[in-house]
Amino acid sequence: MQCFRALRYFSVWSQVPMGPADPILGVAAQFKADPSTTKVNLSIGAYRDNDGKPVVLESVKRAEQIIKEKKLDNEYLPVEGLQSFIDASIKLGYGDAYYAQNGKSIAGCQVLSGTGAVRLGFEFSKKFLPQGTKVYMPNPTWPNHHNIARMAGLEISEYRYFDPKTRGVDFSGLVEDLNKAQNGSVILFHACAHNPTGCDLTTAQWTQLLDLTKKKNFLPFFDMAYQGFTSGDVNKDAEAVRLFTAQGVPIVLGQSFAKNMGLYGQRTGCLSFVCSNQQEKDKVVSQLKLLARPLWSSPPLHGARVADIILNTPELNQLWLQEVKMMANRIQLMRVGLANTLKSLGSPHDWSHISKQIGMFAFTGVGPDHVKELIAKYHIYLLSSGRISIAGLNEGNVKYVAEAFHDVTKNTKL
């Protein structure tokens, strides 16, 4: 009998609703589709050079050359990833001294960049922490944090982070909220370069949070997607992680090499857990593998090889550290450039927060209507929250952007 299984008399997917565009990637797609020659992309957090072009770091090019010369194969990595890369990432995150003493009891797993780190970490938390354990996230946070927690089935609560009045951290609100959080909760921290606000905690504030963490038995989950982008120094940017681990706090750490090595599309990252001993570490890794296998089976190879070579070859490592510094410095120059140009244009608003904030982003304070106008009239693409990626600014467009911001805000309140 003939079988016409492909023939259907009704549509199977007619009930599927159109999904909303991603608040970040959707804007980046809108930018791409805009034929304007003066358009400026301040939406996605991806580094650009002074000509507005994506950058392949020299250290990355050299590592890729080494890979090419080695004529390596494309076999699968093990589920947990490339071990030498994992070890080097852990050393970079926790610091040489801590690694030398405690490296054997840190469980590490290669993951798909920052998103993969948070996803796997949340899946693990959901499976092994007591039922009902909540994850506390800063308000605001990177919108994808919410998606990931939802997908992992974790209940989300928020803690205050940003004060729109001061355009800085609402530390008393933060402490008040975390004081009320249930003991044993997972607390998501941005280790540095807070996304989207560009406002980080001071050493004194981290120390206070460390005490609170110990008192309330919290599990701090550090998302460190921008190591090096705050100060230009990877060790300085890992200060919070090292402060907590030095006191023996069992943290979870998510690391991404998307930004600091410019390996965006390579999906290169590492997730690690501080365990009490090697046995516990082995058990944790075995469970991470069981969770990773149905998610992505085994992680991508190329970026891990590149990062591995850069982190483990002293000359390339030095070169990379200089390149990180160079990227952080250029961003800082653009911050000051934008704030100063707005001032020199006679803006009635105080834009000094743009130069004070740090990392890749500035939380400008402009509202959704301003954003709409900036896109429609000037083809300047930014997030509806008012977040701009400073990395999208350069000497050729900063004046244009400042003039546009001045134009859409000069007769309004911010």
Residue 24 in the binding site for ligand LMR (CB under 6 A)? yes
Smallest separation (angstroms) from ligand LMR to the CB of 119: 13
142 is catalytic: yes
Smallest separation (angstroms) from ligand LMR to the CB of 148: 11
Shorter beta-carbon distance to ligand LMR: residue 95 or 196: 196
Shorter beta-carbon distance to ligand LMR: residue 115 or 394: 115
Which of 27, 41, 42, 45 is in the footprint of ligand LMR by CB under 6 A? 45
Smallest separation (angstroms) from ligand LMR to the CB of 334: 16
* Stretch 116-155: interaction string toward ligand LMR, x if CB under 6 A: --------------------------x-x-----------
Residue 347 in the binding site for ligand LMR (CB under 6 A)? no
Smallest separation (angstroms) from ligand LMR to the CB of 122: 16
Smallest separation (angstroms) from ligand LMR to the CB of 44: 4
Residue facing ligand LMR at closest CB distance: 45
3-state per-residue secondary structure call for the chain: CCCCCCCCCCCCCCCCCCCCCCCCHHHHHHHHHCCCCCCEECCCCCCECCCCCECCCHHHHHHHHHHHHHCCCCCCCCCCCCHHHHHHHHHHHHCHHHHHHHHHHEEEEEECHHHHHHHHHHHHHHHHCCCCCEEEEEECCCHHHHHHHHHHCCEEEEEECEECCCCEECHHHHHHHHHHCCCCCEEEEECCCCCCCCCCCCHHHHHHHHHHHHHHCCEEEEEECCCCCCCCCHHHHCHHHHHHHHCCCCCEEEEECCCCCCCHHHCCEEEEEECCCHHHHHHHHHHHHHHHHHHHCCCCCHHHHHHHHHHHCHHHHHHHHHHHHHHHHHHHHHHHHHHHHHHHCCCCCCCHHHHHCCCCEEECCCCHHHHHHHHHHHCEECCCCCEEEHHHCCCCCHHHHHHHHHHHHCCCCC
Total residues interacting with ligand LMR, rule: CB under 6 A:
6
Residue 388 in the binding site for ligand LMR (CB under 6 A)? no
Enumerate the active-site residues.
142, 223, 259
Binding site residues, ligand LMR, CB under 6 A: 24, 44-45, 142, 144, 195
